[in-house]
Amino acid sequence: MSATNWVILTSLTFIFIGKFLQYSTSYHENWLNKIALVMSTNNDSYKTYEKKLKERLQLQEENHSISAQDNYAKWTKNNRRLEKLNEDLKSLSEQLKVQRNQTTKLLKSVKLVSLTVPFLILKLWKGKFPVYYLPHAEVFPKIIGGVLSQGWLYLGLLPLRILRGGNKVEELDIVPKVSVSLGIWIWAFTSVLATLEFLVNQFVFTKKLNKPILKTAPTEAEKVEFITHDEVELD
């Protein structure tokens, strides 16, 4: 595989993974709950929580099956145990919530380390990598050609380079070929995707709003007709 191919394929992989995570945002909560559940199943807090939950259910069923008047001592004893179990369950629930938040942070860190940071490093490392060359160097003005081949930083450094190299931009960076750098190619590709997403959302997934029916004020003729037809019977 040539250098150009692996750079482009790696960039596309990062872009499509990012888009997949963006489109599946509504499912992330369920995924996190399932992952947290799997990770906490073998946790002592989770096992204790399940055990106390079953015990509370048994005590509630037992209390419903006995009479508070006939078995007051047992009923009272069960109520005290239920109160203690409720306190324990509340404490364990807080612990499990903290553990779930830690799992969420861990997964976000994994995403940051495995996706965001590597993609950023790739763009910084291969940002000026030529994806392809334009057929002619004079297709665009020199400034646009410089941005295409060197990225947006070219515009930021252009005033300084003009002061150092002369007053004419055309004299700067005279090269036989103008390339499209990886950074500009990624920016253009993601911009096209964003535009397509907007168009699809507007024309496919956005519900059409019916035109509101406006009540028009009665005309003068209608007012006159209404008045002339208004008859009052006299005794």
What pLDDT, in 10s, does the model give residues 12-23? 999 999 888 888
DSSP 170: G
- Residues 95, 75, single domain; the answer is yes
Q: What is the residue type of 211? A: K
Tell me whether residue 167 is in a domain. yes
- Residues 30, 119, single domain; the answer is yes
- Residues 100, 10, single domain; the answer is yes
- Residues 91, 113, single domain; the answer is yes
Tell me whether residue 97 is in a domain. yes
What is the pTM assigned to this prediction?
A: 0.60
Could you report the per-residue pLDDT of 64-90, keeping only the tens digit for each? 888 777 778 888 888 888 899 899 888
Q: Which residues of 143-161 are buried (b: 16+ CB within 10 A; e: fewer)?
A: eebbbbbbbeebeeebeee
Round the CA-based radius of gyration of the chain to a whole number and report it: 35
How many structural domains compose the chain? 2
Look up the domain containing 33 and give its range.
1-126
Could you report the per-residue pLDDT of 188-230, keeping only the tens digit for each? 999 999 999 899 888 887 777 666 666 665 555 555 554 555 5
- Residues 72, 183, single domain; the answer is no
